[in-house]
């Protein structure tokens, strides 16, 4: 069961926690052998094939346990160094196309000699000190530092533009959380980043994960606005990303994964236990994505579509609750991707057209009973 960020007493635990597994988010999930995908008739609750891996015991964190690709150890390519000066004043690019692909010759030489490196899974700044930030200048100083840090924020902070998040950082809203406005957070080529319990109401993309960034976890936060851009964008070779227990509302586009020119072999993303509350589209839309796992999300009143797979992406959609989302899952007509669905409930939503095959995710996870998703996710997703 997911835990939101707790008070300062619980936050002290963070300094002594070391994540050693990618255990399931809950230990008391529903029976994965119960079929739950509805037929195309509105309000129907008939189902298709079922089955999912069981979970291992959960490791306690003050704000939950990482599940999915961000927690999955594995080889990852060295991130290319990007030109931050070119990006520093940019807003979120339409359609989630935020990333450039600048190569660093030294990094390339190192890769040729040593190959990909092994990353143990996301821990954020748990190995470092805990510091506080109440304004954008202090936030920039902490998030750009070289050492691991847990950066606690509370109250309203005007970002005043783009703030880059460095490696080995946890940005954590404490108390009643933090509201970040008038800017965006960019995880550009960074490794091992956690962003949790923040609220962002923005005019463009709120969080961009790009430039080969990997092992990034965005958890328990609330996003709105975007002005047509994806509120969360994962592009430009980013990899091993988990988006969990977030609430998306009052927006045309929620999550964009990949761009038209992204190279294959990256963009492995888990999207679970999020509440897509009246958002129009991209929940997510995936392009050129190696593997996207969409499970136990609550879709409500999404007029355009729920999930879309395009440009050869591999998307597994399971255990989700679609309510009044006419086109629950689709593939792009001109550049389709592969999509497999199972154990979903469709209420006033059409049965999807499936295409191709999608590999099983390599990590341990556990599906909650799909019938429980509206209460479970609708009541708990988002910032405090």
In a domain, 228, yes or no: yes
pLDDT value of residue 60:
42
Task: Tell whether the model's pLDDT for residue 26 goes beyond 50.
Answer: no
In a domain, 89, yes or no: no
In a domain, 153, yes or no: yes
In a domain, 369, yes or no: yes
What is the tens place of the pLDDT at every residue in 30-75?
333 333 444 333 333 333 433 444 443 343 444 578 999 999 997 7
Task: Report, as an integer, the average pLDDT of 118-128.
Answer: 94
pLDDT value of residue 350:
86
pLDDT value of residue 63:
57
In a domain, 182, yes or no: yes
What is the tens place of the pLDDT at every residue in 261-302?
998 899 999 999 999 999 999 999 999 999 999 999 999 999
Task: Tell whether the model's pLDDT for residue 96 goes beyond 70.
Answer: no
pLDDT value of residue 107:
45
Task: Report, as an integer, the average pLDDT of 89-96.
Answer: 40
Q: What is the domain extent for residue 288?
A: 8-23+35-77+119-380
CATH number at residue 190: 2.160.20.10
In a domain, 107, yes or no: no
Question: How many structural domains is the chain composed of?
Answer: 1
Task: Report, as an integer, the average pLDDT of 24-28.
Answer: 36
Our CA dihedral for 171, 229, 67, 145, rounded to 10 degrees, sits at: -30
pTM of the model: 0.77
Considering the chain, what is the average pLDDT of its residues? Answer: 80
In a domain, 299, yes or no: yes
Residue 284, preceding bond cis, omega within 30 degrees? yes
What is the tens place of the pLDDT at every residue in 206-224?
999 999 999 999 999 999 9
In a domain, 258, yes or no: yes
């Amino acid at each position: 069961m997911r835990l939101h960020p707790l008070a300062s007493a619980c936050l002290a635990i963070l300094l002594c926690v070391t994540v050693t597994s990618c255990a399931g988010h809950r230990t008391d999930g529903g029976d994965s052998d119960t079929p739950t995908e509805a037929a195309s008739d509105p309000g129907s609750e008939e189902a298709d094939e079922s089955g999912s891996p069981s979970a291992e015991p959960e490791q306690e964190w003050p704000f939950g346990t990482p599940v999915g690709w961000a927690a999955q150890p594995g080889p990852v390519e060295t991130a290319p160094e990007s030109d931050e000066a070119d990006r520093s004043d940019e807003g979120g690019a339409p359609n989630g196309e935020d990333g450039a692909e600048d190569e660093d010759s030294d990094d390339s030489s190192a890769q040729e000699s040593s190959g990909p490196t092994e990353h143990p899974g996301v821990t954020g700044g748990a190995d470092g000190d805990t510091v506080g930030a109440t304004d954008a200048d202090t936030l920039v100083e902490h998030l750009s530092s070289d050492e691991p840090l847990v950066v606690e924020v509370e109250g309203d902070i005007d970002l005043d533009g783009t703030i880059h998040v460095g490696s080995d950082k946890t940005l954590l809203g404490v108390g009643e959380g933090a509201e970040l406005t008038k800017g965006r957070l960019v995880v550009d080529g960074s490794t091992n980043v956690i962003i949790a319990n923040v609220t962002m109401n923005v005019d463009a993309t709120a969080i961009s994960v790009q430039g080969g960034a990997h092992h990034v976890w965005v958890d328990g936060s609330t996003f709105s606005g975007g002005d047509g851009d994806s509120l969360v964008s994962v592009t430009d070779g980013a990899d091993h990303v988990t988006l969990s227990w977030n609430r998306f509302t009052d927006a045309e586009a929620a999550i964009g994964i990949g761009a038209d020119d992204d190279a294959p072999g990256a963009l492995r993303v888990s999207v679970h236990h999020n509440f897509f509350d009246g958002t129009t589209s991209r929940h997510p839309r995936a392009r050129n994505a190696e593997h996207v796992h969409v499970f136990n999300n609550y879709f409500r009143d999404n007029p355009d579509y729920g999930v879309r797979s395009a440009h050869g992406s591999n998307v597994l959609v399971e255990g989700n609750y679609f309510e009044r989302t006419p086109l629950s899952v689709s593939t792009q007509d001109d550049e389709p991707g592969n999509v497999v669905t199972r154990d979903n409930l469709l209420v006033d939503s059409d049965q999807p057209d499936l295409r191709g095959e999608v590999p099983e995710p390599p990590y341990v996870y556990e599906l909650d009973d799909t019938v429980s998703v509206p209460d479970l996710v609708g009541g708990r997703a988002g910032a405090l």
